[in-house]
Structure 1
Amino acid sequence: MSSSDIFIGETIGTAILILLGGGVCAAVTLKASKARNAGWLAITFGWGFAVLTAVYTTAPLSGAHLNPAVTLAIAIKDGDWKNVPVYWAGQVLGAMIGAALVWVAYYGQFHAHLTDREIVGGPGAQDTAAKAVEAQEKGAGPVLGVFSTGPEIRVAWQNIATEVIGTIVLVLAVLTQGLNDKGNGLGTLGALITAFVVVSIGLSLGGPTGYAINPARDLGPRIVHALLPLPNKGGSDWGYAWVPVVGPLLGGAIAAGIYNVAFA
């Protein structure tokens, strides 16, 4: 496959991934959404179906890595690094596009949410306002969770470990079951398997950090959150932003090492 096919495929695929994954987070979070408070099950299955849709759509173009940790692991496994920058560039750009499309799709809900006294503070909403202030003091604004992840308890080593462990599970599943017959990405059966693996990771390991398990999935939307003209949006929590980038990359590298030792 050509570099242009890889870049276009990863851009489109990651945009679809974030549009549908970020979309379910918006649906569950934002005021005036019909799915508000649908809960963690909705989020985990929403992300799983997002993976499924994105992979089915773009696997013929790029192999549908859609995740810098997967790209890194495949490069370590095969020893072929020439297209890694192209994959990563498409993934980050696609994630930014997907996050911007979530904002467009939920424009009215973002406005209603971020101008509501119970959300951003005001008379009669002291408890909620106090929580919002506390969150913003930590650097996380009231809708940042629609765009990127954050820990429930901030312990750097644990947050990193959680992301590493979740990514190892994901990448091992991709490497052992999900590679297509060309060995460069997810095939049809691999897409279905990986979608269920993502749901499983979310249900079992998503509680501590929100399971980024994908550097582009977190970094691209976080950049968009910082740039968008959202009222009362609060901070983008850049102090935590390195964790969902470094953790998944470490996890992908470790998974590739395990694969080469145990399965190759």
Structure 2
Amino acid sequence: MNKFEGTEKYIASHDLKVAINAAITLEKPLLIKGEPGTGKTLLAHEIAKSLDKPLFNWHVKSTTTAQQGLYEYDAVSRLRDSQLGNDKVDDIANYIKKGKLWQAFEADERVILLIDEIDKADIEFPNDLLLELDKMQFFCYETGEEIVAKHRPIIIITSNNEKELPDAFLRRCFFHYISFPDRETLKKIVEVHFPNLEQDLVESAMDLFYAIRNQRNIKKKPSTSEIIDWIKLLMVGKINANELDEVMQGKKDIPFLGALLKNEQDKAILR
């Protein structure tokens, strides 16, 4: 299999590329942490594009259970159909809804499986997946089937660090923390999204952006995705580099500040 080297739309650091390819080589899930907005979810999509593999996206919520990733049995629909005399009730498989793990396991080629924001679920959620992620198989009790992966999927797991993950789960993963990009890397990311942007505007925007990020009392620092949104608004609003320089000098208010800061306490610090 080809190695991941980044894509035209995703600027990956050397360390991140090493982590991705190491996880693929070791056949271990890659656990990605980092600030919200640093491209953790997008990474899985770009890996799929780069390696030309299908992507199965399992987005985890607070109510998500590990069982839903395997399958769900719709007993209510089967009962209703039996009352209506529907012939399909004779085959219980008609009432099995395959989860993302099942779909990834039965795929005819190696796929990318994204388990997105795993820390949103109950604390037992990661432990409930240990056997399936280790053995790449599980049992469907309703149909009596043993579901075994045809090809071990490349598993990308993201976390925003809202909860500590169990040690037993962490031992089975290859871990990487996406650090906030340095100025040169961030500039490359901006250029990917806005290739024809005037360099004076890019430099002035980044000066102001980093000045905001470096405020010591900011609770929610603006991220990569937020500078992209902000620059888009600067372009729409026809804000030029000179105007941003005047902001840095304290002569004007920060334009479109709501794209960068997301709570009233942080906004008050900059007023």
Indicate the TM-score class for this superposition, using the shorter chain for normalisation: under 0.3
TM-score in terms of structure 2 length? 0.22
Larger Rg: 2
Greater strand share, structure number: 2
Q: Which has the higher contact order (CA 8 A, sep 6+)?
A: 1
